Amino acid sequence: MTEPFGTRLHAAVAARGPLCAGIDPHAGLLREWGLDDDVAGLERFALTAVEGLAPHVSVVKPQSAFYERFGSRGVAVLERVVAESRAAGALVLLDVKRGDIGSTSQAYADAYLDPTSPLACDAITASPFLGFGSLTPMIDTARTHGAGVFVLALTSNKEGPEVQHAVASGGGTVAGRVLDHLRALNAGADPLGSFGAVVGATIGETHEDLDIDGPVLAPGYGAQGGTVADLRRIFGRAAGSVLPSSSRELLRHGPDVGRLADAARRTNDELAGLAR
């Protein structure tokens, strides 16, 4: 049994700061870097980003879809991103947002959380909207291998509220029910639980309790408008467990490795007082 993800994450954040660096090689960014939108451009972009960012942040978050669109050769690049990011000392949170039932859910868990898999990483994102219980294979596999799962709860996309703000059976919102499940999974964990929530850094106001005794991934920091003040206002006493995630704001400094590294260090400096 490996050390729980929450314990490893807590140590990584203490050493490197809370910034989660997204490595999202979409076509627009490849063009901005002067690269072709092909596998060679993908590889150059992704591995340069790893070189510039992974040694300086606690968490690297590749978005799987941007690699999968190139087929098996793109997935091979993703395998290198995972391996080289971890070799540089960063934890890897693979953004896959998987959500299914039964044996299919288990297969996703085996693909991303079992250390014998070539795509094994430290944590994944998951969708609970087939019912939180549908994630049980992922949760159980994460416990077995000391990995983590970040579950969608309150996202910033305009379509999210029709599901996440809906009233669940028995009262309360669907998002609130997801947060309750995560709080229960993390009960008694010290210093930090391994099961996190995904809550957008630009959601505005919420009456939900975001303190889940575990980490909270907050996409949307930086280029999408999220600020330190927003994070303090939204998360309150839970701000010390937040991983602000930034992709475009960091990646626009490429392809210069030094500028990428400087951007990561500068952003972590901005976030240093988040818990205060």
Active site residue 158: no
Residue 246 one-letter amino acid: S
Show the tokens assigned to 86: 């971890």
CA atoms lying within 13 Å on the CB side of residue 154: 23
Show the tokens assigned to 203: 């959601």
Question: What is the phi/psi pair of residue 101, to 5°?
Answer: -125, 155
Question: What is the phi/psi pair of residue 91, to 5°?
Answer: -80, 150
DSSP-derived secondary structure letter, 239: G
* Closest of 218, 61, 82, 217 to residue 150, by C-alpha: 217
Which residues touch 65 (CB under 8 Å, ≥6 apart)? none
Catalytic residue selected from 26, 80, 86, 97: 97
SS (H, E, C) 176-205: HHHHHHHHHHHCCCCCCCCEEEEECCCCCC
* Closest of 206, 144, 158, 208 to residue 182, by C-alpha: 208
CA distances for 230 relative to 159, 160, 216, 234, 271, angstroms: 21, 19, 14, 6, 12
Q: Which residues are catalytic?
A: 97
